[in-house]
Amino acid sequence: MATKQGNTTLLDREKEALKPPKKYKVLLLNDDFTTMDFVIEVLQKFFAMELERAMQTMLKVHNEGKAVCGVYTRDIAETKVVLVSDFAKQHGHPLRCEMEEH
């Protein structure tokens, strides 16, 4: 049962409130120091990529300067950026990982 309030019903407002969350792309950025093998390891470990897809994504990062590793909700994207950045630092690599709205 919908009730009227102004020009919209409560049901209309509930539908508006139930919009899906915004999505964010997680990107890896190329640098001149991180090894290709390490990038492949990151893609497999944090983005659950099979070897072939990880290799293709790594080559895209290498050739085009960046590549999308996945699209996630904000919390998951932020977590992946932190995990990848920390992992790279722990292993002495300057690999950059960032997110942007999809």
pLDDT tens digits for 54-83?
A: 999 999 999 999 999 999 999 999 999 999
Considering the entire predicted model, what is its pTM? Answer: 0.83
Domains of the chain by start residue, with CATH:
23-101 (3.30.1390.10)
How many angstroms separate the CA atoms of 46 and 3, rounded? 47
Which pLDDT value is given to residue 12? 72
- CA torsion 82-56-54-21 (nearest 10°) is 50
